[in-house]
Structure 1
Amino acid sequence: MKIATCNYSGSVGKTVAASHLFAPRMPGAEIIAVESTNESAADLGLPVEQMRGEHFGRLFRKLLMAESAIIDVGASNIEAFLAELVKYDEAHLEIDYYVLPVVGSGKAQRETIKSIQALAAIGVPAERVRVLFNRVDADVHEEFAAIFGYAHHAGGFIANPEAAIYDNEVYDLLANKRTTIKEILADPKNYRQLLREADRDDLQAIAHLSDMHALQSLARPVERQLDRAFAAIFL
Structure 2
Amino acid sequence: STRPLRDDKGRALGVQTGQPTTFQNGAQLLAPRPQSTLNHSGSFIMKVVIINYTGTVGKTTIAANLLSPRMDGAPIYAIESINETAENLGMDVEKLRGNKFRELFKRLMLEDQAIIDVGASNVEDFMSNLEGFEEAHEEIDYYIVPVTSGTKEQKETVSMIGSLASMGVPSDKIRVVFNRVKRDVQAEFPIITAYHERASAFRINYQCAIFESELFDALSINRLSMKSLMEDETDYKTLLKDKNASVQDRNRWSDMYGLKLLCKGVNRKLDSVFAELFDIEVIK
TM-score (norm 1): 0.96
Instruction: Indicate the residue corresponding to 2:255 in structure 1.
Output: 211
Instruction: Indicate the residue corresponding to 1:119 in structure 2.
Output: 164
**2:274 matches 1:230:** yes
Equivalent position to 1:135, from 176, 180, 184: 180
Unaligned runs of 5+ in 1: none
Cα deviations across residues 34-82 of structure 1 (Å, max 9, x unaligned)? 0000000111111110011000000011111211000000011110000
- Aligned equivalents of 2:203 and 2:211: distance in 1? 19
Q: How far 1:198 sits from its partner (Å)? A: 4.8
Relative to total residues, which structure has the larger helix share, 1 or 2? 1
Cα deviations across residues 199-234 of structure 1 (Å, max 9, x unaligned)? 47x343233212201111101111100000011111
User: Is the Cα contact below 8 Å between 1:10 and 1:75 reproduced in 2?
Assistant: yes
* Cα separation, partners in 2 of 1:203 and 1:88, compared to 1, 3 Å: same
* Cα separation, partners in 2 of 1:194 and 1:83, compared to 1, 3 Å: same
Tell me the percent identity: 44
Q: Number of aligned pairs?
A: 234
User: Is the Cα contact below 8 Å between 1:30 and 1:70 reproduced in 2?
Assistant: yes
What is the DSSP-based 3-state SS (H/G/I as helix, E as strand, rest coil) of the residue aligned with 2:76? strand
**2:77 matches 1:32:** yes
Equivalent position to 2:125, from 80, 97, 101: 80
User: Is the Cα contact below 8 Å between 1:173 and 1:211 reproduced in 2?
Assistant: no
What is the DSSP-based 3-state SS (H/G/I as helix, E as strand, rest coil) of the residue aligned with 1:53? coil
User: Is the Cα contact below 8 Å between 1:36 and 1:52 reproduced in 2?
Assistant: yes
> Superposition pairs for residues 86-105 of structure 1, below 5 Å?
86-105=131-150
Larger radius of gyration: 2
User: Is the Cα contact below 8 Å between 1:198 and 1:205 reproduced in 2?
Assistant: no
Q: How far 1:25 sits from its partner (Å)? A: 0.2
What is the DSSP-based 3-state SS (H/G/I as helix, E as strand, rest coil) of the residue aligned with 1:75? coil
**2:89 matches 1:44:** yes
What is the DSSP-based 3-state SS (H/G/I as helix, E as strand, rest coil) of the residue aligned with 2:99? helix
**Displaced runs of 4 or more, over 3 A:** none
- Aligned equivalents of 1:137 and 1:195: distance in 2? 33
Instruction: Indicate the residue corresponding to 2:3 in structure 1.
Output: none
Unaligned runs of 5+ in 2: 1-45, 280-284
User: Is the Cα contact below 8 Å between 1:36 and 1:76 reproduced in 2?
Assistant: yes
RMSD: 1.2
**2:209 matches 1:183:** no
Structure 2 counterpart of 1:14, one-letter code? K
